[in-house]
Chains A and B, each alone.
Chain A
Amino acid sequence: MSQQSTAAEHHSSGGSGGEAAPAKRKSAMAEFIRKFSKQKLSLVAGIFIILLLLVAIFGPFLTPYDPDAPDYDSMLSGPSMKHWAGTDEYGRDILSRLIEGTRLSLAVSLSAVFIAAFFGTILGLLSGFYGKWLDRLIMRSSDVLFSFPDILLAIGIVAILGPGLTNVVIAVAVFGIPSFARMIRSVTLSAKETLFVEAARSMGAKDRRIIWRHIFPETLPSVIVNVTMKIGGAILAASSLSFLGMGAKPTEPDWGAMLSMGRDYLSIAPHVVYFPGLIIFLTVLAFNLVGDGLQDALDPKMKN
Chain B
Amino acid sequence: MSTPLIEVKGLQKSFLVNKGWFGNNKYLQAVDNISFSIGKGETFSLVGESGCGKSTTGRLVTRLLTPNQGEVWFNGQNITQLNDNQMRPIRKEMQMVFQDPYASLNPRMKVKDLVAEPLLIHTKLSQGERDKLASELLEVVGLNSFHAERYAHEFSGGQRQRIGIARALSVRPSLIVADEPVSALDVSIQSQVLNLLQDLQEQYGLTYLFISHDLSVVEHISDRIGVMYLGSLVETAPKDELYERPLHPYTQALLSSVPVPDPSLARERIILKGDLPSPVDPPSGCRFHTRCPACMEVCKTKVPVFQEVEPGRQVACHLYDEDVMSRN
Contact = CB atoms under 8 A, between A and B. Distances in A.
Contacts of B92: 204
Given A196-B105, A200-B117, A24 B154 contact: yes
A20 B100 contact: no
B45 interface: no
A205 B121 contact: yes
Interface in A194-231: 194-196, 198-207, 209, 213-214, 217
A141 interface: no
B108 interface: yes
Contacts of B156: 14-16
Contacts of B144: 19
B231 interface: no
A15 B95 CA distance: 27
Contact of B155 (A16, A198, A205, A217): A16
A182 B112 CA distance: 34
B117 A217 contact: no
A24 B151 CA distance: 11
Interface in B228-270: none
B150 A199 contact: no
Contact of A20 (B64, B107, B108, B154): B154
B157 A202 contact: no
A42 to B, nearest CB: 24
A82 interface: no
Contacts of A207: 84
B122 interface: yes
A195 B103 contact: yes
Contacts of A16: 154-156
B121 to A, nearest CB: 5
A13 B122 CA distance: 36
Interface residues of A, number: 26
A206 B121 contact: yes
B87 interface: yes
Contacts of A200: 106, 117
Nearest to A207: B84
A20 B118 contact: no
B270 to A, nearest CB: 33
Interface string B95-116: 1101010011111110000000
B91 interface: yes
A204 B154 contact: no
B106 A21 contact: no
Contact of A196 (B103, B150, B153): B103
A215 to B, nearest CB: 10
Which residue, of B64, B117, B118, B147, has the highest number of chain A Cβ atoms within 10 A?
B117
A203 B121 contact: yes
Interface in A69-118: none
Contacts of B150: 20, 25
Nearest to B177: A202
A12 to B, nearest CB: 10
Contact of A204 (B100, B107, B121, B167): B121
Contacts of B104: 195-196, 198-199
Interface of B: 62, 64, 84, 87-88, 91-92, 95-96, 98, 100, 103-109, 117-118, 121-122, 144, 147, 150, 153-157, 159, 164, 167
8 pairs of A and B residues whose beta carbons are closest in the complex: A204-B91, A195-B103, A202-B96, A195-B104, A196-B106, A20-B154, A15-B156, A204-B88
Given A16-B156, A19-B144, A199-B96, 9 more contacts: A20-B147, A20-B154, A20-B159, A199-B98, A200-B117, A203-B95, A204-B121, A204-B122, A213-B109
